[in-house]
Amino acid sequence: MKIQFINVGANKMSWTANIPKLDHDSLYAEVKSSGALYSQCIDFTYSEKDNVGDILVGQIREVGTFKVVQEQ
């Protein structure tokens, strides 16, 4: 599935990536491989209604968003 990452991290990086499925491990791997975040404590929230989610560090601080732009 195609995911658009928006304004991630201190440098506000944005990119689009294909991930195998919408789960924590796939999102985490993509964010880490991009170099946008160095933290090990990265979490994600997701609204199925809006197809949009938040990227969180330390479970409370929002550091970016992501959007599903194409489902499999």
Residue 17 token pair: 């990536």
Q: What is the pLDDT of residue 59?
A: 79
Report domain extents, the chain: 2-70
Residue 30 identity (one-letter amino acid): E
> With bands split at pLDDT 50, 70 and 90, how would you rate the model's confidence at 60?
confident
**How far from chain centre, in Å, is Cα 37?**
10
For residue 72, pLDDT over 80 is answered with no
The reported pTM is 0.92
Contact in structure between 56 and 8 (CB atoms under 8 Å): no
- In this predicted model, what pLDDT tens digit does every residue of 16-45 receive, in sequence order? 999 999 999 999 999 999 999 999 999 999
Residue 20 token pair: 């195998």
